[in-house]
Amino acid sequence: MMRVLSVLLFLVLAPLVGALLDGIDRIISARMQGRQGPPLLQPFYDLAKLFSKQMVAVNSVQMLLNLSYLFFLAVAGAMLFAGADILMCLFILSTADMFLVMAASSDSSPFATLGAGREMIQMMAYEPLTLLMAVGFYLATGSFHVGDIIQMPHSAVLAMPGFLVGFFFITAIKLRKSPFDLSTSHHAHQEMVKGITTEMSGPTLGIMTVAEYYEMILMLGIVALFFLDAHWWSWIIAIVACLVIFFLEILWDNVSARVKWEQMLGSCWGVTLLTGGLNALILMLIR
Amino acid sequence: MAKLAKSPWLLHYDASSCNGCDIEVLDCTTPRFDIERFGIINTGDPFQADILLITGGVNAQCESVVKQIYSQMPDPKVVVAVGICACTGGVFKDCYNIKGGVDTVIPVDVYVPGCAARPQSIIDGVVKALEILQQKRDAFARSQKSDKS
Ligand code: SF4
């Protein structure tokens, strides 16, 4: 019963909370740049507008592929919030991303195709850590099940701080934050128009945006997973930790410039190896 | 204000401006003027834009580009001609390669005069354009409804 409720809550609330966080993100970013910034509810206005625009379909499959992206992200998130297998959840997350890549390469725009290629490089950059992280959770808690992980006497982060650092790194890729916003950026003007979303307009872009909100909540959910344990107060710590990580991502976004893909791949794998790899090694030795 | 007027995304195109007006358009996004206050984003993508800002007159070379960008923007959309060159051709009016203002190629909704147009008047023009955008949106919603029935 609790599981059904938490999945339903996730499916309904994730886009709303995601949009709200996005609004906060945009205000904080603007303040960091010395501007006033848009109203808090701006993402909702944007979404309402996108869904009221004319539907310019560049081909017949893009909408379907975008809907699949949304669907699989929602499923991946629902699995996490249902307390199911974290490995399964991460696999579905990468499947979802594949649909976005296909949606972008289905149209004829060279910018979208380039964006799709870069998106795949991004997947290559973060995939090793996500898989290692699932192993890390298993080593730290003895289970792949989210339901078991949050019932441990101690938070998982005590045994796997390295993974949290690594996860912070790849969250920047996932949230499309600078320095890793290669495939498409939330900021105006980048070298390849809007990258992966170049040929998405109106409702199609709206669906992609909603999907990104699901993804954002899913990523923050995994951050929370690091901190949750059997004590009730761990939930407060987890929420605070999520907000802190979210703020740090915004800060990083605003102080760094976009890197080239070689640097992204190199630094991501380096960080993965250093944090995740070492952490996993230590966990294996002390077990 | 309703949906569209709260979230207008701009596309800025430099037809054949001397770059004076372009700098002023970019000025609008700086902390001093900050057009994001109105939810305005300067996107580079015609597929996602609602307002087309054009600076400079249209010449033989960029005519087809202007037409293409305009046709790529999904309805409802408005066009703002920024600077006297974009309005009428300005000082370049009699040049052999200049066709004239932007309205010789595509329909223009708001004219922002000035050489160069000041950021304040550009923002003023964009806010004017929002009203027109809203009217167009209502008309568009009506036409969609009648399409369905
Ligand atoms: S109006 Fe003046 S500043 Fe603007 S493009 Fe024309 S000549 Fe340049």
SS (HEC) of chain B:
CCHHHHCCEEEEEECCCCCHHHHHHHHCCCCCCCHHHHCCEECCCHHHCCEEEEECCEECCCHHHHHHHHHHCCCCCEEEEECHHHHHCHHHCCCCCEEECHHHCCCCCEEECCCCCCHHHHHHHHHHHHHHHHHHHHHHHHHHHHHHC
Mean pLDDT for chain B overall: 85
Sign of CA dihedral A61, A113, A205, B79: negative
Chain A, nearest residue to B9 by Cα: A46
- Write the ipTM: 0.82
Find which of B22, B26, B33, B36 to mutate to test the A interface (most A CBs within 10 Å of its CB).
Answer: B36
DSSP 8-state assignment for residue A228:
-
Closest approach of A94 to chain B, Cα-based (Å):
26
Domains in chain A: boundaries:
2-286
Asked if A46 and B7 touch (Cβ cutoff 8 Å), the reply is: yes
pLDDT of A105-137, one tens digit each?
887 788 888 888 888 898 888 888 888 888 888
Torsional class of B100: left (φ above 0), alpha (ψ -120 to 50), beta (otherwise): left
Q: Is the pLDDT of residue A51 over 90?
A: no
pLDDT tier at B149 (50, 70, 90 boundaries)? low
Given a cut of 50, whether residue B23 has pLDDT beyond it is yes
The sign one gets for the Cα dihedral A263, A265, A268, A274 is negative
Q: Is the predicted pLDDT of residue A58 greater than 80, yes or no?
A: no
Mutate to test the interface with B, among A53, A186, A199, A205 (most CBs of B within 10 A): A53
- The number of angstroms, rounded, from the C-alpha of A126 to the middle of its chain's C-alpha atoms is 11
In chain B, what are the domains? 4-140 (3.40.50.12280)
Instruction: Output the six-digit token pair for A109.
Output: 């725009």
Where residue B80 falls among pLDDT bands split at 50, 70, 90?
very high
Q: What is the pLDDT of residue A189?
A: 60
Q: What are phi and psi of A233, to 5 degrees?
A: -75, -10
Residues B117-126: what's their mean pLDDT? Answer: 89
Residue whose tokens read 């409804």 = B145
- Which protein residue's CA is at the shortest distance from atom 6 of ligand 1? B85
pTM above 0.90, yes or no: no
Mean pLDDT (whole number) for B63-75: 89
Q: Which atom, in ligand 1's list, is nearest to the CA of B83?
A: 1
Confidence of residue A247 (pLDDT cuts 50, 70, 90): very high
Kindly state the tokens that stand for B108.
């223009």
Sign of CA dihedral B78, B130, A189, B88: positive
What does the pLDDT read at residue A103?
A: 85
Least-confidence region, from A66-75, A137-146, B125-134, B137-146: B137-146
Whether the pLDDT of residue B54 is over 50: the answer is yes
Task: Round to the nearest angstrom and report the end-to-end CA distance of chain B.
Answer: 27
Whether A248 has a pLDDT exceeding 90, the answer reads yes
Residue pair B126/B35 in contact (Cβ under 8 Å)? The answer is: yes
Residue B2 has pLDDT above 60, yes or no: no
pLDDT, average across residues A253-277: 87
From residue A153, alpha-carbon distances to A2, A86, A193, A229, A274 in Å are: 21, 19, 49, 6, 27
A260 has pLDDT over 90: no
- Please state, for a pLDDT cut of 70, what percent of chain B lies above it: 95
- Whole-number pLDDT of residue A239: 92
C-alpha to C-alpha distance for A280 and A86, rounded to whole angstroms: 17
Map tokens 């501007």 to a residue. Answer: A35
Highest mean pLDDT among A173-182, A245-254, B93-102: A245-254
**DSSP β-ladder status, B58-59 and B9-14:** unpaired
Find the mean pLDDT for residues A16-27: 92
The confidence score (pLDDT) of residue B1 equals: 42
Q: Would you state the pLDDT for residue A5?
A: 87
Determine the Cα–Cα distance for residues A262 and A270; give it in Å rounded to an integer: 12
Total Cβ atoms within 10 A of residue A37: 21
Say if the Cβ atoms of B44 and A34 lie within 8 Å.
Answer: no
Return the pLDDT at A188.
Answer: 63
Q: What does the block give as tokens for A270?
A: 């380096």
Q: Characterise B89 by phi-psi region: left (phi > 0), alpha (psi -120 to 50), beta (else).
A: left
The pLDDT, as a whole number, for residue A217 is 92
pLDDT of residue B111: 92
Q: How far is the CA of A51 from the centre of ligand 1 (A)?
A: 37
Instruction: For B71, name the nearest residue in chain A, comparing CA atoms only.
Output: A56
